[in-house]
Amino acid sequence: MTQPVNNLKAWRHLEAHAGRMAGPENHLSKLIAAPNRLAGFSASGGGLFYDFSRQRVDADVMATLVELAGERAVSRCFADMVNGEIVNRTENRAALHTAARDFSGRKITVNGVDAAAELSRVNAEVREFSRRIHSGELTGTTGKPFRHAVVIGIGGSYLGTEFVAAAFAPAADKNIRLHFLPNVDIDCFGSLVQSIDPESTLWIVISKSYTTTETMANEAQALAFLRENNLDPKDHIVTVTAKGSPGDDPSKPVLVSFHMFDFIGGRFSVTSAVGGVPLSLYVGFDRFERFLAGAEEMDNHAASAPPEKNLPMIAALVSVWNNNFLGYPASAVIPYSTPLSRLPAHIQQLYMESNGKGVTQDGHPLNTASGVIVFGEPGTNAQHSFFQLAHQGRHFPIDFIGVIRPHFESYRNRSKGVTNHQELWANLIAQPQALATGKADPENKARHFSGNRPSSTLLLNDLSPENIGRLLSFYEAKTVFEAFIWDINPFDQFGVELGKTMASDIRASMVKKNENPEHIIDDAGHIEKAYLDMLFGGSLKA
């Protein structure tokens, strides 16, 4: 059995450090006054720059955190993951998202399957497929070229792709609009079909098992829609699914099926065909491949850089410090870049589904807090929304994300003497500083800022596909590093099962009522029954 994390020597030392860091002499305004603060508390690697100078750490804290990573053999855990070991033990699976962008040519075998070769085969298929769509060689039933692609998929089959697609949007030059149909809500489908042209629409149905309830319900809507428009599913539907799933069944022909594998989980799958098919259609396979290359660069950095120079490792250690030692229950991700608007939603899933766990790998209750709540909106929007609370209400750490060169560099009009991009950066630079230093106002307490509110800043050179890949991989590595410290499994998600089971019971009641409108619902609890009565009655109870 693995030692509980809070029995480790480094953990106990960190508890002592936390007491020390709470003292007024370690207020952030004091810490950042040291002239070498930034040099000592920032790192470059994998193509990104990470500044943790405004975190409530000093050299001793960082050294002890690195010891914790050592005691926990976090780097070895990461190597095991990359090498295809069965690191997802509760589901007896490997976790090989890194193999999806491993261009080294090395063999990675899982249960006798050459995973790298399989992923590479699928990528070649995606490349060829997107070429044939873009060239107009493949068309819809009526011969019209495809101008819309709709992703039917939810959770990990959608959020990552949505984030990356938004980041790529200004470069989307393939004359294909990308839409998402994640929610089973009929208003999601209804709105969507108002905005597409049926004859020029390709549907991409993404589900590993091809049994995901929401996805299957939306696939059924799409099939009915195709029928109504006299269009053939084998011209208009592609699937991304496990080999041999009901979505990869020759008796239900579709245009093409791309395989996904049980060694890559949904929330880690955007560099597989899950992201590959829609993103290649949207911006071309070449850009998708550059995105993979960026992710690979950060993967290699995460795997090889020593902990004290390893960006995602430092970020993970600081996150554990903030959570378990300083007691912050939540963390925000604030990209100062509109194209990164949906990064927070992606990280919210990636991090909270991976690390929102209550048991260790061995199945023992975890006796420390695990993952925090993650949320965010783009800056400067967020400043005009919830930053009031960030400055004067309860404290939470923030990841600020900045981009040195925007997509639309050519607009250089100045307002107040600066370009819009400079104004954005004036705020990006000011906010972490204001949160850290605060400003005493003994006269007017409503204008008093206590400061000492921690943040990091992560910088990208620009929004190139490579940098989006680096950013994605950075957060993936950070997420699993934290899990390795706690010794939890970041790759399973048994926590979603109970709700599914209970929804299934409610669905059974609904089916009876659908089959016989006279049926009196008698097999549900009194609260559930009241809701079913309102739904079937078509109005709120009096």
Number of residues in the chain = 542
Binding to a second copy, residues 459-488 (CB under 8 A) = 459, 461, 463
Pick one of 19, 24, 446, 517: the residue that binds a second copy (CB under 8 A). 446
Catalytic residue among 364, 384, 409, 439: 384
CB of 297 to a second copy, least distance (A): 14
Contact call for residue 221 and a second copy (CB under 8 A): yes
Give the 3-state secondary structure of 273-313: HHHHHHHHHHHCHHHHHHHHHHHHHHHHHHHHCCHHHCHHH
C-alpha neighbours within 13 Å on the C-beta side of residue 258 = 27
Shortest distance, position 311 Cβ to a second copy, whole Å: 12
Residue with tokens 């839409």: 179
Q: Long-range contact list for 215-224, CB < 8 A, 24+ apart?
A: 215/152, 215/153, 215/154, 215/157, 217/184, 218/152, 218/181, 218/184, 218/188, 218/189, 219/152, 221/186, 221/189, 222/150, 222/152, 222/181
The dihedral through the CA atoms of 230, 232, 237, 241 has a sign that is: positive
Contact pattern for a second copy over residues 149 through 178, marking x by CB under 8 A: -----xxx-xx---------xx--------
Piece of the chain touching a second copy by CB under 8 A; list 196-204, 238-246, 283-291, 387-395: 387-395
Looking at residues 255 to 314 of the shown chain, list those that interact with a second copy (rule: CB under 8 A).
266
Q: Per-residue x/- marks for a second copy, 498-517, CB under 8 A?
A: xxxxxxxxxx--xx--xx--
For residue 401, state whether it binds a second copy (rule: CB under 8 A): no
Q: Which amino acid is at 407?
A: H
Stretch of 113-121, 122-130, 138-146, 355-363 lying at the interface with a second copy (CB under 8 A): 355-363
DSSP label of 156: G
Closest to a second copy by CB, 163 vs 261, is 163
CB of 67 to a second copy, least distance (A): 26
Distance in angstroms (rounded) separating the CA atoms of residues 502 and 494: 14
Q: Applying CB under 8 A, which of residues 22, 124, 430, 520 lies at the interface with a second copy? A: 430
Size of the site for a second copy (CB under 8 A): 160
- The nearest distance, CB 352 to a second copy, in angstroms, is 4
Is residue 309 part of the annotated active site? The answer reads: no
Choice between 136 and 363, CB closer to a second copy: 363
411 touches a second copy by CB under 8 A? yes
Of 355, 397, 466, 480, the one binding a second copy by CB under 8 A: 355
220: number of CA atoms within 13 Å, CB side?
9
Binding mask 122-141 for a second copy (x = CB under 8 A): --------------------
**Antiparallel, parallel or unpaired: β 398-405 and 256-260:** unpaired
Residues 19-38 that bind a second copy (CB under 8 A): 32, 35, 37-38
- Tell me the window of 197-205, 289-297, 391-399, 478-486 that interacts with a second copy (CB under 8 A): 391-399
Query: Judged by CB, which is closer to a second copy: 119, or 206?
Result: 206
Contact status: 414 vs a second copy (CB under 8 A): yes
* Cβ neighbour number for residue 420 with a 10 Å cutoff: 14
Q: Which of 199, 214, 219, 353 is catalytic?
A: 353
90 binds a second copy (CB under 8 A): yes
Q: Identify which range of 118-126, 238-246, 314-322, 341-349 contacts a second copy by CB under 8 A.
A: 341-349
Residue 116 binding a second copy, by CB under 8 A: no
- 228 given a catalytic annotation: no
Is 529 considered catalytic here?
Answer: no
Find out whether 199 and 144 touch, Cβ atoms under 8 Å.
yes
Q: At what angle do helices 311-320 and 465-486 cross, to 10 degrees?
A: 40
Cα-trace Rg, the chain: 25
Residues 6+ apart with CB under 8 A from 469: 101, 271, 290, 291, 292, 293, 294, 295, 296, 297, 298
Q: Is residue 367 near a second copy by the rule CB under 8 A?
A: no
Q: Which uninterrupted H or E stretch holds 44?
A: strand 42-45
Q: How far apart are CA 508 and CA 523, in angstroms?
A: 9
Distance, CA of 359 to CA of 20 (rounded, Å)? 30
As measured in angstroms, the least distance from the Cβ of 9 to a second copy is 26
Shortest distance in whole angstroms from residue 149 CB to a second copy: 18
Query: Which is closer to a second copy, CB of 116 or CB of 279?
Result: 279
**Per the structure block, which two tokens stand in for 483?**
């899990």
Contact between 434 and a second copy per CB under 8 A: yes
**Residue of 114, 88, 120, 110 whose CA lies nearest to 292:** 120
Alpha-carbon distance of 43 to 20, in angstroms, equals 25
Candidates 25, 416, 497, 500; catalytic one: 500
76, 121, 234, 405: which one binds a second copy (CB under 8 A): 405
Nearest to 461 by CA among 48, 102, 24, 21: 48
Pick the binder of a second copy from 26, 392, 519, 521 (CB under 8 A).
392
CB of 197 to a second copy, least distance (A): 17
Q: Name the one range near a second copy by CB under 8 A: 142-150, 233-241, 279-287, 443-451.
A: 443-451
What is the DSSP secondary structure assignment for residue 535, as one 8-state letter?
A: H
CB 38 → a second copy: shortest distance, Å?
5
74 vs 118, 435, 470, CA distance in Å? 28, 31, 20
Which residues are the active-site residues?
353, 384, 500
